[in-house]
Structure 1
Amino acid sequence: MPQQDLQLQQDATALYEAVNQLVRFYQFRDRDLICCHDVSVTQCYALEFLAEHGSLRLQQLAELMLLDKSTSSRVVDSLVKKGYVTRIADINDRRAVALTVTDKGVALYQQIRAELIAQEQQLIAHLSPETRQASIEVIRALTAQVKQRATNSCGTRLCSD
């Protein structure tokens, strides 16, 4: 194997391990912080998408969250029961229902987001501005590549198989 290919393989392995550990720690951190606010991480993601995109149909929300429709429906049901989301008749299609985040849901999402951003600030405070910016650019570039590959291989969303 040529030296360049060997280095690429080693770098890919190191990236896999680093990202795997980072994601694992973030999931636990997010779960511990978010669950203190009466919602799960998945419910918080749903609030985030609805707050950012406005009213959505269930299928649209499911696609954004990379979940199947039945799982998304259960997530939304719990948010409706808690008063964070409402279902309203879609003005463009009376047969359809639009999901909308309530003021209570927006307030909760904004509180959770502010707490997570404060934690991020603590995490990166010791890094130079150049390192922070480079890190953000790398993460965005990797995310774009993963998203593009997933879309190219499976249509409009990540493969579930």
Structure 2
Amino acid sequence: MSNLNQTQLLRESLRTLVRKLGVLDRGEASCCGITLSQSYSIVEIGRAGIISVNLLTEILGVDKSTVSRSVDKLVNNGILVRDTDPEDRRSVTLRLSDKGQAVFEEVEKRSTAYFAEVVADIPDDKRKQIIESLQYLVQALKGSRCC
């Protein structure tokens, strides 16, 4: 297969994958009355425990104003708690409230259940190869120059 054909096949495969995962993500978010972008924030904060706004912005790969708008809504809805970092009064940290923890756990539970079904549909002898290949792809994407 030529490099051009490989490039096109990779591009189309990733486009399909992104669409499929986007539908999944919207479904997970809608279960809990939150938007997709709010879901991403909740998951990252839930996994970190406590996280700075700056680090959340970096992880999500969006601008600070986008994160701030999303965070403001989540704070107003009682899902997040915003604190001033005691070690650096200029830094703001975020953590989940009890309500936010419940939302995080529900999103994670649904995601885990979905991917357990996906893994079950992959032949046993291909699972390790697929996961390893995805890890290589993620590393390649981290190093790529885009947009």
**1:1-161 maps to which residues of 2 (within 5 A)?**
7-150=2-145
CA distance in 2, matches of 1:69, 1:46: 12
Which amino acid in the other structure matches residue 15 of structure 2?
A: N
1:110-144 deviation per Cα after TM superposition (whole angstroms, max 9, x unaligned): 11111122111222313222211111111111011
Q: What root-mean-square deviation, in Å, do the aligned CA atoms of Structure 1 and Structure 2 show?
A: 1.6
Distance 1:107 1:141 in 2: 33
Q: TM-score, normalised by structure 1?
A: 0.83
Percent identity between matched residues is 29
Distance in 1, matches of 2:62 and 2:102, equals 25
Q: Distance in 2 between matches of 1:94 and 1:34?
A: 33
Instruction: Rate the CA distance shift 1:144–1:57 in 2: closer, same or farther, 3 A.
Output: same
What residue identity is the alignment partner of 2:77? K
Displacement of 1:46 after TM fit?
A: 0.6
Q: Which has the larger radius of gyration?
A: 1
Gaps of 5+ in 2: none
Once the two structures are TM-superposed, the CA of residue 38 in structure 1 deviates from its matched residue by 1.1
Measure how far apart 1:94 and its partner are: 2.1
For 1:133 and 1:90, locate their aligned partners in 2 and report how far apart those are by CA, in whole Å: 41
Structure 1: gaps (5+ residues): 1-5, 151-158
